[in-house]
A and B are shown apart, each in its own frame.
Chain A
Amino acid sequence: MRISTPGARNPAPDASPASSGSPDSKRRRFLFTLGLGSAGVAVSAAASVSAMADVIEAQPAVAEGGYRETDHIRDYYRTAKL
């Protein structure tokens, strides 16, 4: 079970979401009140079982033009450890 420092970031239950803070903290507070803060571990487990949709991947920086590397170029990057 891994829950990251739950005590450290729990806003007080009566804190008003819009009372203060940066847009980012207000955004988090909004998500928290919807229960997303509690989704935590179990949803992570479901997401990891899903093993990702696996439809996209990060690209190494490509010099010119083309937006997609091919498999053999990817293999080359992998073995050459550029």
Chain B
Amino acid sequence: MTSEGTGPDDHPPEPEDQARADFYALLARLYAAAPDAALLAAIAAAGPLAPPVEGGDANAVASTWESLRLASATADPAALADEFQALFIGVGKSEVSLYASHYLGPQSGRPLAEIRAALAELGLARRAEVSEFEDHLSVELETMRMLVAGDSGRPPAPIAAQRAFCERYLLPWAFECCTAISQSPVANYYGKVAQFCNSFLAIERDSFAIE
């Protein structure tokens, strides 16, 4: 019934892939700007990630998601705006960089130029009005959302293409970035975001490796 293929048929995505796309969308949004009250309420109201089998293994992605949900229930949007500013924008120098170029040394080439080329190849580009460069964590996460779920008239990318982009551009530095955020003394809510991001990307890494 399910084909491996990439046919033009537009079945709705499987629930797991829809969830992946939604988490990528959510994380991309949270790394683009601090959440407003409506988004915090929606995260708080989203359910826990229950293991399908009763007594099933507790896992990092479920527990970090739970922490993020609980933090979202009590967070103050104004305080989060300050936290985002202090962490990622800063006066003069931000506390933590959200750019791949900061984490990838010169031996890895020119991350910004490479991801620009990769996006162009995928038929994507950052919006003209967006100030973040293409190697920003939010841009890379949003690219994954588009690859997983497709977008207006654009079919989802085959899993091999998702894997290729993720392994080439996101995984080499995202864990280090998330660790830097969660260890920052400035981070509170964003520590929870980073821990969830870290565990979510870890299962992405592991699931891509399944053959």
Per-position contact with A for B137-161: 1 when CB-CB < 8 Å, else 0? 0110111011000011110000100
Docked complex Cα distance between A46 and B70 (Å): 14
Query: Within the complex, which residue of A38, A44, A69 is in contact with B50, where a contact is CB–CB below 8 Å?
Result: A38
Per-position contact with B for A41-56: 1 when CB-CB < 8 Å, else 0? 0111111011111111
Interface size on B, residues (CB 8 A): 71
Contact B14 A35 (CB under 8 A): no
Contact A55 B211 (CB under 8 A): no
Contact A43 B31 (CB under 8 A): no
Residues from chain A with a CB closer than 8 A to the CB of B105 are none
Contact A46 B125 (CB under 8 A): no
Segment 108-148 of B: residues with Cβ below 8 Å from A: 116-117, 119-120, 123-128, 130, 132, 136, 138-139, 141-143, 145-146
Contact B25 A47 (CB under 8 A): yes
Min CB–CB distance B146 → chain A (angstroms):
7
Contact A45 B16 (CB under 8 A): no
Contact A47 B56 (CB under 8 A): no
Residue B89, interface by CB 8 Å: no
Question: Nearest CB to that of B46 among chain A residues?
Answer: A42
Question: Nearest CB to that of A21 among chain B residues?
Answer: B2
Given contacts A13-B53, A49-B39, contact A31 B12 (CB under 8 A): no
Residue B42, interface by CB 8 Å: yes
Docked complex Cα distance between A76 and B86 (Å): 40
Segment 8-29 of A: residues with Cβ below 8 Å from B: 9, 13, 22-28
Residue B164, interface by CB 8 Å: no
Query: Within the complex, which residue of B4, B32, B61, B146 is in contact with A58, where a contact is CB–CB below 8 Å?
Result: B146
Contact B159 A55 (CB under 8 A): no
Min CB–CB distance A11 → chain B (angstroms):
9
Contact A69 B125 (CB under 8 A): yes
Question: Nearest CB to that of A22 among chain B residues?
Answer: B4
Residues from chain A with a CB closer than 8 A to the CB of B57 are 33
Given contacts A31-B20, A50-B25, contact A56 B38 (CB under 8 A): no
Residue A4, interface by CB 8 Å: yes
Docked complex Cα distance between A52 and B53 (Å): 32
Min CB–CB distance B24 → chain A (angstroms):
9
Question: Nearest CB to that of B59 among chain A residues?
Answer: A34
Closest 5 CB pairs of A and B: A35-B49, A53-B28, A39-B19, A67-B120, A50-B29
Interface pairs (14), CB distance under 8 Å = A28-B14, A34-B62, A37-B52, A38-B47, A43-B23, A47-B26, A50-B29, A50-B30, A51-B29, A52-B145, A55-B132, A59-B124, A61-B123, A70-B128
- Listed in ascending order, the chain A residues whose CB lies under 8 Å from chain B are 3-4, 6, 9, 13, 22-28, 30-40, 42-47, 49-59, 61, 67-71
